[in-house]
Amino acid sequence: MHVLDTGAGQEKDLTLVCVHGNPTWSYLWRNFLVKAPSNIRVIALDHLGMGYSERLDSDRVLDQRVDDLTRLIRALEITTPIMSLAHDWGGPISLGWVEREIASGDHDIAGVILLNTAVHQPKEFKNPAVIRLARARGLLAPVTEYTQGFVFGTRILSGSKMSREVAAGFRAPYRKRESRKAIHGFVADIPFEEDHVSRATLDEIALNLNLLSQTPVLMCWGPNDPVFSDIYLRDLKSRIPHAEVHRYEGASHLVSEDAPDLVSDVFHWIASPTGPNVDSSGDFDNSMVDFGEQMKKQAIHRPNVVGLTAMNEHRSVTWRELQSQTEFSMRYLSEEGVTAGDRVAFLVPPGPLLIPLIYATWNLGAAVVLADSGLGLRGMFRALRGAHIDHVVGIPRAWPLMRGLQIPGSRISTKELDRASERGQSRAVVDAATNYEFPSNDLGAVVFTSGSTGPAKGVQYSRGHIARTVAALQSQYSINSHDVIIAAFAPWAVFGPALGIASVLPDMNPGKPSSLTYRALNESVVRAGGTLLWASPAALTNVLDTVPERENADWSGIRLILSAGAPVPKSLLKRLAELIPSASIRTPYGMTEALPLSEISLAEILSSDEDHGVLVGKGLPGVDIKIAPWSDPNHLTNDAGLMGEIVVRAPHMKNSYNNLAFTERMSSQFLGWHRTGDVGHLDADGALWIEGRKSHVITTPMGVITPVPVEQRVESLDFVRQAACVGVGPKDASVVVIVYIESDQGRKLSQLQREDRVREVAGTQIAAILLVKSLPTDIRHNAKLNREEISRWASKKLAGSA
Amino acid sequence: MRVLVTGGTGLLGSSVVQEILNLGHECVVVQRNPSGIAGAREFLDDLTAPRNLDQWLAEVDAVVHLAAKVGIVGSYQEFYEANVKATQMLLESAKQHGVKRFIYASSPSVAHTGSALIGAGAQPARPASVRGAYSKTKALAELDVLAANTSSFSTVALRPHLVWGPGDTQLIERIVERARSGRLFYIDGGYALIDTTYVTNAGQAFACSLNASPEAFGKPHMVTNGEPRTVRETLMRITEAAGVPGPSRSVSFRIAMAAGRAAEFAWRNRTSEPPLTSFLVEQLATAHWFDIEQTKKLLNWSPTISIDEGFAQLRNWYSRL
């Protein structure tokens, strides 16, 4: 047997045993062998008949391969604790051996790491098409043995473009037909059939996974794998619920080739396999949460009062109708198989159909998966695939999309519900005795962040966290039953029924905040009685841009405007205050992971004249805000003036990320706290100032530059409409570049005069000043500058022609 | 310290001499033709065939070797004699005369093979890959100089990038001349980011390297203002300072490159420089800016005249003409 071994020694306190699949060989683990810390011994074997191990006369079955591995480990006389690392069909082999070790107690198994593998063929799902094809009668031998097809095929399964050199490495031991015999044997040994010789062994391995209940387990997954798709990940997760999972978005079958961070991530995990205690709520919460309670109450006490108005559909729905539509949706979803613990996604536009569906899902004890169209179609599909949903509920128009989606889970059409909704359920009787209580710690929602930096991240909230968010909103804004929420940012419409207040969806495209017009907003106030407005700066900007020439509308009904989702320019708030003097204007700060964290009124913003970032106020009651200083990032401080990452703690904070173990570990580096990825500082009064995103900080030889304060100073110039401050060049030796959009005042000055003015106010050295027509922003809010993209563009522009 | 400067005339040379004198050193210069630099003792000699080397190397503690054959006119042999042979001779003689420090004026072109340089450090010289007799011979000489570094004979190479200042007849005056006659243009809009060096800063870098920290020796160092600007802005600032119209148009890289090659071909047998060369086009169209933190640290130097101050000085100079 051909075995790579970095060697035993005094300094070794752990041994990592790497088990490849088919048709790869120990070459797969080369980066682990090279990059292993000095205290870790790495052993990578080639299965008999594979790689550079000797070729056999007969095929080897799973049971024999488990024996081979067990005997090899015995022979190596390992004295340290052992972790296993396996890929593809190496997964069952390694697990078979690990289970024997745990059962016998011969070796201390310190952890198990699995990459794209499986131990069971989920019944409802067909065998992987690629394998089925390769296994088709008469095709198996030609594909696997006679030609290099299977070896080539596996290479194609790598999502990234594999270099010629690496491809040759994978192929090296399989160049001759007789060298590929075992590849054929391996595929033939996959026990699809009930009576297959290895079936019993595989079933036993799957069954014995409960032996791993005390063993740390990590699964790293390439979701684009056409063989071991997310179906198998879900199956494994259901068998090893305590496993940590990280899905490397964009990676395929050979995940360790496709995800450049995987090797270092795995070694990080090995260093602390039990990881941080991620329960941010502190004490174990054994209370119950009933999201349907408020809606039911309203339906009983004020049945004929409007609970939801959809301006674009010209429809208003009373509380009684909402409640009965919710109950009807519950029965319908229940018939379609939705039960407690399931994850349900919706391809339904916000409105009188969706809101009852969401509450019906909650009332059934299931979790909602919210990935709105603001993520873009591609982003939304990717999010849904990653969320491991059990059901997709879609309007008939969305059906062609759902078919092309390639996501698991049952498909539920809203056709029936729609009819019910149109008939109206006004005569239905509400049963006051029913309640929809489910444990606080159950999953309530998976919400996807806007993903302005990389793929959208799914944030998991327990029911308790959602309830605490609702409570935080209620007390912070003194919300009472006479309030009506204007949800210009669609996800907020969901909170209305939980708060027991009516909601209005203004006449706009819910996926595009900037489609909110002056007229649409005013109608939401005058005709639907809106008193509270949630809107993004992009929506408010468009409201101000569409003010008619003769403006005399009645705005007296609106009492509070909350501008959230992205930094809000001062000038915008001022104009808004002039337009709607009756409303108190506030900007809460927070993120999908925790909202609201702090907030500030317009008056407070206007009285602060410093331009050192965006002032977002002090932490709300119960919220702690600290800074992990740039110069000392492993400590948290309250010291005034120190710039660093903003780290928060709040009772209504997210529980974890969805299948992103390493993102989770990073964000929870400080036990019980959440690293926001934003940078800023606290002032002497303890108020928070935002200076940008951590990934947008520019490290120059002269020091560290945060973008927002520079942009604010440049935007104070009358010829600048909007400015972006980005870095160009290598890390720690970058130069600062300003990219700006000109205002109509721009023509008065020469180019050099404008550049002089920018340099005068910037407060830092500026290498280049570039004028553009528009600046890219995120899809969802149309307000957060995509500084990564601007930096890439500027780098290319300033590199010149060659 | 008694310091010998070769090639002490010209923009950079006179600044180097001035800054060495400012530090309180004694300065000796050697060159072919009399220049009359105030405060420095002058010897006339030819470095490719020195006649009275023992005289001007006597009791010298340090050599700053600036003299070189520049441009693109001339045979490879001529460049080799002036840049490699003369440097080797000077190195050897300096060592024999007990000189302790040898400071060589190199060029960024010794390591530049055409691709954009973005925040780059001083890469090793690559005589086999660089283009043109000047770059190749400067690269060979730099390798010789750095290879000669020992504990008793410390050698170092400084690579100042695009040195300019008032009275500059090379870079500035050529740009101004072209602008005046309407022949100055951008290539692809002139957005390539480039480093330049105001002459005083370059002169001070050489003077400082006489007392550089021990780790500085045996290595090449980039010298710039540390304030890269786009070609576009640089040309605009220079023409504005000189009171001439700025570039009025832009041509594409491909067309400029073709024109450069055509000019090189047409001028192949002449003794004057062609108005445009492919090397110049590449220089004007490709980013080349550097990370000078290492240089600043090891030479105990940093630029004292900011680029904007430099442009102001240039404006003053032109307004007094």
pLDDT tens track for B208-243: 999 999 999 999 999 999 999 999 999 999 999 999
Query: Does A765 sit within 8 Å of B233, measured CB to CB?
Result: no
Q: Which amino acid is at A502?
A: A
Is the pLDDT at A279 greater than 60? The verdict is no
Query: Does A729 sit within 8 Å of B119, measured CB to CB?
Result: yes
Is the pLDDT at A389 greater than 70? The verdict is yes
Q: Judge if A3-271 and A477-582 fold alike in CATH terms.
A: yes
In this structure, is the dihedral angle defined by the CA atoms of residues A19, A21, A25 and A28, taken in order, positive or negative?
negative
Nearest one of A492, A491, A463 to A479, comparing CA atoms: A492
How much is the pLDDT for B149? 96
- The two structure tokens encoding residue A65: 């391969």
**Hey, is the C-beta of A771 within 8 angstroms of any chain B C-beta?**
no
Q: How many CB pairs under 8 A join A and B?
A: 76
Contacts of B193 in chain A (CB under 8 A): 728, 735, 767-768, 798-800
pLDDT digits (tens, 9 = 90+) for A245-263: 999 888 899 999 999 889 9
> Rounded distance, CA B286 to CA B276, Å?
16
How much is the pLDDT for A149? 63
Tokens 């594999």, residue? A162
Question: Which residue ranges make up each domain of chain A?
Answer: 3-271, 477-582, 697-799
Is the pLDDT at B256 greater than 70? The verdict is yes
In this structure, is the dihedral angle defined by the CA atoms of residues A767, A772, A778 and A780, taken in order, positive or negative?
positive
Q: Strand, coil or helix: what is A567? A: coil
Give the rounded percent of residues in chain A with a pLDDT score beyond 70.
Answer: 88
Q: In A, residues 682-711, which contact B (CB 8 Å cutoff)?
A: 701
CA dihedral A665, A668, A671, A677 (to 10 degrees): 140
CATH of domain A477-582: 3.40.50.980
CA A68 to chain CA centroid, Å, is 41
The CATH superfamily of A697-799 is ANL, C-terminal domain (3.30.300.30)
Contacts of A770 in chain B (CB under 8 A): 191
- Between A237 and A17, whose confidence is greater? A17
Cα nearest neighbour of B228 on chain A: A767
How much is the pLDDT for A56? 87
CA A684 to chain CA centroid, Å, is 35
Query: Does B293 sit within 8 Å of A733, measured CB to CB?
Result: yes
How much is the pLDDT for B216? 95
Contacts of A768 in chain B (CB under 8 A): 191, 193, 228-230, 233
DSSP state of A695: G
Query: Does B115 sit within 8 Å of A798, measured CB to CB?
Result: no
Is the pLDDT at A424 greater than 60? The verdict is no
H or E segment at A323? helix A319-335
pLDDT digits (tens, 9 = 90+) for B62-108: 999 999 998 878 899 999 999 999 999 999 999 999 999 999 999 99
> Rounded distance, CA B87 to CA B91, Å?
6
How much is the pLDDT for A158? 63
How much is the pLDDT for A282? 44
Query: Does B289 sit within 8 Å of A735, measured CB to CB?
Result: yes
Nearest one of A773, A802, A770, A775 to A789, comparing CA atoms: A775
- The two structure tokens encoding residue A160: 């990234």
Contacts of A801 in chain B (CB under 8 A): 187-188, 192, 253, 285-286
CATH of domain B2-163+198-224+291-304: 3.40.50.720
How much is the pLDDT for A565? 65
**Lowest model confidence (mean pLDDT) among A501-510, A582-591, A704-713, A772-781:** A772-781
Query: Cβ contacts of residue A262 below 8 Å, gap of 6+?
Result: A115, A220, A248, A251, A255, A256
How much is the pLDDT for A526? 93
Question: Which residue ranges make up each domain of chain B?
Answer: 2-163+198-224+291-304
Instruction: Judge whether B134 counts as a catalytic residue.
Output: yes
List, as one string, the DSSP characters of B191-204.
Answer: --EE--EEHHHHHH
3-state DSSP of A65-112: HHHHHHHHHHHHCCCCCEEEEEECCHHHHHHHHHHHHHHHCCCCEEEE
How much is the pLDDT for A614? 85
How much is the pLDDT for B136? 95
CATH of domain A3-271: 3.40.50.1820
Is the pLDDT at A795 greater than 80? The verdict is yes
Q: What is the mean pLDDT of residues A787-792?
A: 92
Tokens 């705005």, residue? A555
Is the pLDDT at A506 greater than 90? The verdict is yes
- The two structure tokens encoding residue A595: 């909202």
Q: What is the mean pLDDT of residues A666-693?
A: 88
Asked if A439 contacts A463 with a C-beta cutoff of 8 angstroms, the reply is yes
> Rounded distance, CA A79 to CA A18, Å?
17
Query: Does A751 sit within 8 Å of B191, measured CB to CB?
Result: no
How much is the pLDDT for B243? 94
Nearest one of A308, A291, A297 to A430, comparing CA atoms: A297
Q: What is the mean pLDDT of residues A584-588?
A: 88
How much is the pLDDT for B317? 94
> Rounded distance, CA A533 to CA A523, Å?
13
Banded model confidence at residue A283, pLDDT cuts 50, 70, 90: very low
pLDDT digits (tens, 9 = 90+) for A437-489: 999 889 999 988 665 556 677 888 889 888 988 888 888 889 998 999 999 87
Q: Which amino acid is at A772?
A: V
Is the pLDDT at A406 greater than 80? The verdict is no
Query: Does A729 sit within 8 Å of B289, measured CB to CB?
Result: yes
Rg of the Cα atoms in chain B:
19
Q: Which residues pair with B248 in a beta bridge?
A: none
Averaged confidence pLDDT in chain A: 86
Say how many Å lie between the first and final Cα of chain B, rounded. 37
| Interface with A, mutate which of B113, B193, B239 (most A CBs under 10 A) | B193
Contacts of B291 in chain A (CB under 8 A): 701, 730, 733
- Between B148 and A429, whose confidence is greater? B148
Contacts of B188 in chain A (CB under 8 A): 800-801
With a threshold of 0.95, tell me whether the complex ipTM lies above it.
no
Is the pLDDT at A277 greater than 70? The verdict is no
**Hey, is the C-beta of A795 within 8 angstroms of any chain B C-beta?**
yes
How much is the pLDDT for A377? 72
Q: Which of B134, B186, B198, B318 is catalytic?
A: B134
Is the pLDDT at A549 greater than 80? The verdict is yes
Cα nearest neighbour of A756 on chain B: B308
Selecting from B227, B230, B231 the residue whose C-beta is nearest the C-beta of A765 gives: B227
Banded model confidence at residue A428, pLDDT cuts 50, 70, 90: low
Cα nearest neighbour of B229 on chain A: A767
How much is the pLDDT for A785? 83
How much is the pLDDT for A160? 61
pLDDT digits (tens, 9 = 90+) for A155-206: 666 656 688 888 889 988 988 888 888 888 888 888 877 778 888 999 999 9
Q: In B, residues 205-264, which contact A (CB 8 Å cutoff)?
A: 226-231, 233, 236-237, 240, 253
Q: In B, residues 1-60, which contact A (CB 8 Å cutoff)?
A: none
